[in-house]
A and B are shown apart, each in its own frame.
Chain A
Amino acid sequence: MTLSLEGKTALVTGGSRGIGRSIALNLAELGADVAITYARSVEAAEAVKEKIESRGARAKALQADAVSYDKAEDVIGGIIDDWDKLDILVNNAGITRDNLILRMNEEQWDQVIDTNLKSVFNYSKAVAKPMMRNRGGSIINISSVVGLSGNAGQSNYAASKAGIIGFTKSFAKELASRNIRANVIAPGYITTEMTGELDDNILKSIEDETPLGRPGEAVEVAHAVAFLASELSSYITGETLRVDGGMAM
């Protein structure tokens, strides 16, 4: 069997930039129609939409606040109205608001938990009934090695990313009988706009801690997503797959 997503439809939240962008383009490359949501970057989102279309796939770029459940229902309902079904959901939307716990304020905590964790609930719940009707589906939630190991200065982010893992396992158990799979990918240090904000000392130490000795590329996460989205992974559910150069083993 080769990896093909011909005839499949996918939604990638937070798909205008970084890892999400790479995931969306790769799914389209493999034959899927791909919708993305984005928070603010209209131009970047439209550029991703055009790139998807240039690969011969259908595309949508939808402005959506990941924190709103009603918005998640709107987004998924709209995709199903136009494309009849949604086979693949990639919950990728995420932010960081780093600070030491002693200095972290309530807003920084709430924003990260809402955007990174509540959004996964929102979109997973909204897609569950359509996937049940469709007799199957694959959900891939993007966590982080920080959710496995913790990280000083990122207690909010680590909590949200660990929460995703527990949520995904529960979802996988609840929906397995309907052929709906749910898995987690835990990227390590991947070069994106988000890691561009880290300072050089931190980046150097991350590289030192990575057995493969280099940062990852977004497309290396995208390849793992494609595998979990496809029938090649048909017997895998509730799993967390690290894509981290060995960092958290």
Chain B
Amino acid sequence: MSQDVESKVKAIIVDKLGVDEEEVTHDANFTNDLGADSLDTVELIMEFEKEFDISIPDEDAENIATVGNAVEYLQDKV
């Protein structure tokens, strides 16, 4: 399951941000490394919510800045 979460998260990031899979490393920061603007990060969160059928409150979303943050948060919630 945890592998599954990680691969789904990475697939969403590749699709949303139009980056190569190799760039989507554990420590990659959405804004600084993957070229996301502030609305892109909001849209990423919206995609995670849809894919995993959960609701991510704004205060949690603010702490999800890297690929690793997202994977860990979602593994915890799903």
Contacts and interface: CB of A to CB of B under 8 A. Distances in A.
Interface of A: 129, 132-133, 174-175, 177-178
B37 A129 contact: no
B46 A178 contact: no
Q: Nearest 9 pairs between A and B by C-beta?
A: A129-B46, A178-B39, A132-B43, A177-B39, A133-B46, A132-B46, A132-B39, A132-B42, A177-B37
A142 B39 CA distance: 26
Contacts of B37: 177
Interface in B22-48: 37, 39, 42-43, 46
Contacts of A177: 37, 39
Contacts of B42: 129, 132
12 contacts: A129-B42, A129-B46, A132-B39, A132-B42, A132-B43, A132-B46, A133-B46, A174-B39, A175-B39, A177-B37, A177-B39, A178-B39
Contacts of A132: 39, 42-43, 46
A36 B43 CA distance: 28
B42 to A, nearest CB: 7
Interface in B1-59: 37, 39, 42-43, 46
A117 to B, nearest CB: 21
A55 B43 CA distance: 37
Contacts of A175: 39
Contacts of A174: 39
Contacts of B43: 132
B20 to A, nearest CB: 23
A77 to B, nearest CB: 12
A132 B50 CA distance: 14
A132 B43 CA distance: 8
A150 to B, nearest CB: 34
Nearest to A178: B39
A133 B46 CA distance: 9
A177 B46 CA distance: 17
B60 to A, nearest CB: 15
A72 to B, nearest CB: 15
Contacts of B46: 129, 132-133
Nearest to A175: B39
A133 B44 CA distance: 11
A92 B78 CA distance: 41
Contacts of A129: 42, 46
B37 to A, nearest CB: 7
A75 B46 CA distance: 19
Interface centre among B37, B39, B43 (most CB of A within 10 A): B39
Nearest to B37: A177
A133 B43 CA distance: 8
A90 B46 CA distance: 24
B63 to A, nearest CB: 19
A131 B61 CA distance: 19
A78 B42 CA distance: 22
A52 B39 CA distance: 35
Nearest to B50: A133
